[in-house]
Amino acid sequence: MIDLHTHSLISDGELLPAELARRAKVKGYKVIGISDHADHTSIENVIASILKISSFVTYHEGITVLPGVEITHVPKHLIAGIVKFARELGIYYVIVHGETIAEPVEKGTNNEAIKAGVDILAHPGLIEEDDVLLAKKNGVLLEISGRKGHSLANGHVGMLAQKHGAKLIFDTDSHSPSDLTDMEQARKIVSGAGLKPDMFDIMQQNAMELIKKAMEKKR
Give the tens place of pLDDT for each residue, 41-63.
999 999 999 999 877 777 788 99
The total of other beta-carbon atoms located within 10 Å of residue 48's CB is 12
Whether CATH 2.60.40.10 fits 2-218: no
Positive or negative, the Cα torsion across 101, 118, 210, 87? Answer: negative
pLDDT score recorded for residue 81: 98
pLDDT in tens, 162-217: 999 999 999 999 999 999 999 999 999 999 999 998 999 999 999 999 999 998 87
Strands 64-71 and 120-122: unpaired
Euclidean distance between CA atoms 9 and 16, whole angstroms: 6
So what's the pLDDT on residue 197?
82
Q: What is the pLDDT of residue 53?
A: 85
Q: Do 31 and 64 meet the contact criterion of CB atoms below 8 Å apart?
A: yes
Q: How far is the C-alpha of 154 from the C-alpha of 7, rounded, in Å?
A: 20
pLDDT reading at 129 higher than 80: yes
pTM: 0.97
Q: Tell me if 92 sits within 8 A of 54, measured CB to CB.
A: yes
Q: How much is the pLDDT for 159?
A: 98
pLDDT tens digits for range 70-121 = 999 999 999 999 999 999 999 999 999 999 999 999 999 999 999 999 999 9
pLDDT of residue 84: 98
Question: What's the gap between Cα 155 and its chain centre?
Answer: 18
